Structure 1
């Protein structure tokens, strides 16, 4: 397969009561492990990179690796730019071959968020690229974006409806009480708010801060309308812990293949767990490139 837009993947997920798992990857091994996990489970999958990862690796390198991975599997694979607030980088990634873009202007006033989002929608959706936007402020740390607890705000259902109508955005990430990073306690998700937003907004909804949310809460959020779940921090921890274990057991290891393979294997299993949690196993059936 070639890389696909995430729009039809997420529309199918919303219509059928499951979620597509979106994984932030930072190395070739992480990217390979995620696609291998999705392939084993016959599940659609979204690869994601943050602004920092694009700056670190380069959009062309990421797209090339993602295209090769997609060509070696039968499941649909989308490539998404996560939490981007720089229009120039959005253009760069679109030109490189990304199939999904998140414009994050959630830190701005509502009218400015609408204007920035609409600008990206007009650029991207004309050529079939999915556009995701955020309303409200999800707390925590995501790459170089930090939202303190006192700054986090929940999305207003009525504003969500007006926002989607005004921008034409294909997917919406409303702040509903989740946070980026690992939770210090049980996540305080506002499920009633998810239901009220979903009743007003027909587009697929995105659950940010998916690392560490208990399975029963994930399933409840999906049942209410969440069609995509983002996972980042947990993958980094699993990958790094596996590498640390190799060096703890054998400090003399100096061949990257000897510590990256266990990390890749561990990440593949973690990705499979999240795909199962989202109810996406076997959902690749019916999707074409």
Structure 2
């Protein structure tokens, strides 16, 4: 059942759990996400970035999601534009059938971010669509970062309060120390949970954790065993994700973990049978690997059995 993003996240906000927002770039990833949600009895947010939309075509992205949402009609699902960069990008997604969009103007100064976000919110709300925005810059907190540098990078809770009140955004991604991709931290992982709790207190809306890939050890081992190279990458530890949910995170973006798990299986099949060229023999194990990661994440975040 395709629903507005806020329908899913408001409930998570009220009841204090996190919902996985899973990116996809092809049918196999989308199918694995829905199968995992069905097995875990969990609501889901499926995400497509501007790059994924360019790769698949926006009509394919929306069409596949609608077909899958009808197949699993008991599962609340929202189709979300991940990191929309312009008003026009968000508008196009909404017109195509997305039920949630993110306008990412976090690289602009506060006033420009607020102005663009408010413009997207006004249009989206007229169309019955929810909006996500971001404050601060995503880059991992290191041991040698100064207090001034930390405050320049991470979200300012007071600014978040003003931003949410004036933009009327539905959910906010506050920068608290994560970064995108697999290569997050040079030293030990650090997240500013006190800052997160203050943002939650002052905004009282669903919050979003970007850069939340965990790179579980079994996924890492499978990838490395088949010849992959993660260059010593470190994801966000599971206990950090749970602590983030306790602190007010309700939407947890997950992309890198799915890609790594999928590619580990594709490589395994390729290594074990050099004569194999049936794509299904590669992709079916990849889907199962993604499902395993997602179900584990749903249980971890607390969204399992919330339908």
1:270 pairs with one of 279, 286, 293 = 293
Alignment-derived partner of residue 193 in structure 2 = 191
- Once residues 187 and 156 of structure 1 are traced to their aligned partners in structure 2, the CA distance between those partners, rounded to angstroms, is 20
Change (3 A) 1:57 1:152: farther
1:46-125 equivalences in 2 (<5 Å): 46-73=45-72, 74-125=74-125
The runs of at least 4 aligned residues of structure 1 exceeding 4 Å deviation read 149-152
5+ residue gaps in structure 1? Answer: 141-148, 285-289
Alignment-derived partner of residue 143 in structure 1 = none
Task: Determine if the alignment matches structure 1 residue 223 to structure 2 residue 246.
Answer: yes
Contact 2:87-2:119 within 8 A present in 1 as well: no
| Structure whose alpha-carbon radius of gyration is higher | 2
Give me the CA root mean square deviation: 1.6
* Displacement of 1:277: 0.9
* Displacement of 1:75: 1.0
Residue by residue over 1:164-191, the C-alpha shift from the partner in whole angstroms, topping out at 9 and shown as x without a partner, is 0110000000000111112345421000
Change (3 A) 1:186 1:280: farther
- Once residues 150 and 280 of structure 2 are traced to their aligned partners in structure 1, the CA distance between those partners, rounded to angstroms, is 43
Alignment-derived partner of residue 17 in structure 2 = 18
- Once residues 110 and 206 of structure 2 are traced to their aligned partners in structure 1, the CA distance between those partners, rounded to angstroms, is 20
5+ residue gaps in structure 2? Answer: 141-148, 215-235
Residue by residue over 1:67-97, the C-alpha shift from the partner in whole angstroms, topping out at 9 and shown as x without a partner, is 1111111110110000111222212111110
Change (3 A) 1:161 1:55: same
- Once residues 193 and 139 of structure 1 are traced to their aligned partners in structure 2, the CA distance between those partners, rounded to angstroms, is 15
Alignment-derived partner of residue 36 in structure 1 = 35
Task: Determine if the alignment matches structure 1 residue 281 to structure 2 residue 304.
Answer: yes
Alignment-derived partner of residue 251 in structure 1 = 274
Alignment-derived partner of residue 209 in structure 1 = 211
Task: Determine if the alignment matches structure 1 residue 241 to structure 2 residue 238.
Answer: no
**What secondary structure, in the 3-state scheme, does the structure 1 residue paired with 2:271 have?**
helix
**What secondary structure, in the 3-state scheme, does the structure 2 residue paired with 1:139 have?**
coil
Q: What TM-score results when the alignment is normalised by the length of structure 2?
A: 0.87
